[in-house]
Amino acid sequence: MKVITISRLLSSGGQTIGRHVADELGYSFVTKKTIEEVMKQYGMVEFGEVYESSPGFLDRMDNFQEDMITMLRKVLQAIGVVGSAVIVGRGSFAVFPNYSDVLNVRLWAPLDVRVDRFMNNRDLTGRKKAKDMVVKADKIRKGFVERWFHGHPDRSNAFDLVINTAKIAQESSVRLIVDTARNQKDLELREYNTLESLTVDTILLQTVEQVLQSES
């Protein structure tokens, strides 16, 4: 697999599992920071301001912000062409549907489990407040992907691999993703596209390569 995308609910272990998968495969680990660095070189504002805004705000975005989403898609596609990358979040699964050399993974866990993790990671004591924060984050992420990429993170058929991290331990989740990526790397599926079919601006491609190299 040239690219692995990891879609995740808050506190389902996406960042940690994604980094371990990237380390195991020797892939670049692409996060919001990576994407922002590429976009910054194109004079775009921070992507986080858009991604972390409420669905209501997204509905009122102006043309400039719509251009930024278009740029985000182009950056993700350029990362795909460069290959050997694990991309966490940012609606990446919806940018690469039906590609034989992309593995789209969804990580989730029941809400109560994620609230416990959220509280422990942030040393919080108020469970109701923590639960409200987790639910809000889930809603924002879902709203972003549905609004701009027409993706549906709650539908299992949008993914190749769905893992419940409340039942599957972190080490086992990493091994499952890594083994799947390695075993499928030579698989040819005639009904799917490959990342080689994407057309990417040369300058953007070079920028992505430079940023990924600088972070390695």
CATH of the domain at 98: 3.40.50.300
Domain count, the chain: 1
pLDDT for the residue numbered 57: 41
**Paired tokens of 45:** 């504002």
pTM: 0.86
What φ, ψ does residue 123 adopt, rounded to 5°? 55, 45
Of the CA atoms within 13 Å of residue 162, those in its CB half-sphere come to 10
Instruction: Answer yes or no: is 155 within a domain.
Output: yes
Taking CA 22 as the corner, what is the angle to CA 114 and CA 140, rounded to the nearest 5 degrees? 40
Q: Is pLDDT above 70 for 194?
A: yes
Angle between helices 63-82 and 202-215 (to 10 degrees): 70
Q: Is pLDDT above 60 for 196?
A: yes
pLDDT for the residue numbered 42: 64
Average pLDDT for residues 208-212, to the nearest whole number? 93
Q: Which residues pair with 30 in a beta bridge?
A: 87
pLDDT for the residue numbered 153: 87
Radius of gyration of the chain (CA): 17
Average pLDDT for residues 167-183, to the nearest whole number? 95
Indicate the burial class of 8 (C-beta count within 10 angstroms; 0-12, 13-18, 19 or more).
buried
Average pLDDT for residues 25-54, to the nearest whole number? 74
Euclidean distance between CA atoms 208 and 211, whole angstroms = 5
* Position 59 confidence tier, pLDDT thresholds 50, 70, 90: very low
Euclidean distance between CA atoms 179 and 151, whole angstroms = 26
Instruction: Answer yes or no: is 7 within a domain.
Output: yes
Instruction: Answer yes or no: is 26 within a domain.
Output: yes
Tell me the torsion sign for CA atoms 176, 153, 166, 26: positive
Q: Is pLDDT above 60 for 61?
A: no
Give the range among 55-64, 108-117, 132-141, 151-160 with minimum mean pLDDT: 55-64
Give the range among 6-10, 62-66, 178-182 with minimum mean pLDDT: 62-66
* Position 44 confidence tier, pLDDT thresholds 50, 70, 90: low
What φ, ψ does residue 85 adopt, rounded to 5°? -140, 145
Instruction: Answer yes or no: is 187 within a domain.
Output: yes
Instruction: Answer yes or no: is 177 within a domain.
Output: yes
Q: Is pLDDT above 80 for 113?
A: yes
Contacts of 96 by beta carbon, 8 Å cutoff, 6+ apart: 3, 5, 76, 80, 102, 104, 195
Instruction: Answer yes or no: is 165 within a domain.
Output: yes
pLDDT for the residue numbered 148: 83
Instruction: Answer yes or no: is 56 within a domain.
Output: yes
Mean pLDDT of the chain: 86
Indicate the helix (H) or strand (E) that contains 7.
Answer: strand 3-8
The residue segments making up the domain with residue 78 are 3-196
Instruction: Answer yes or no: is 120 within a domain.
Output: yes
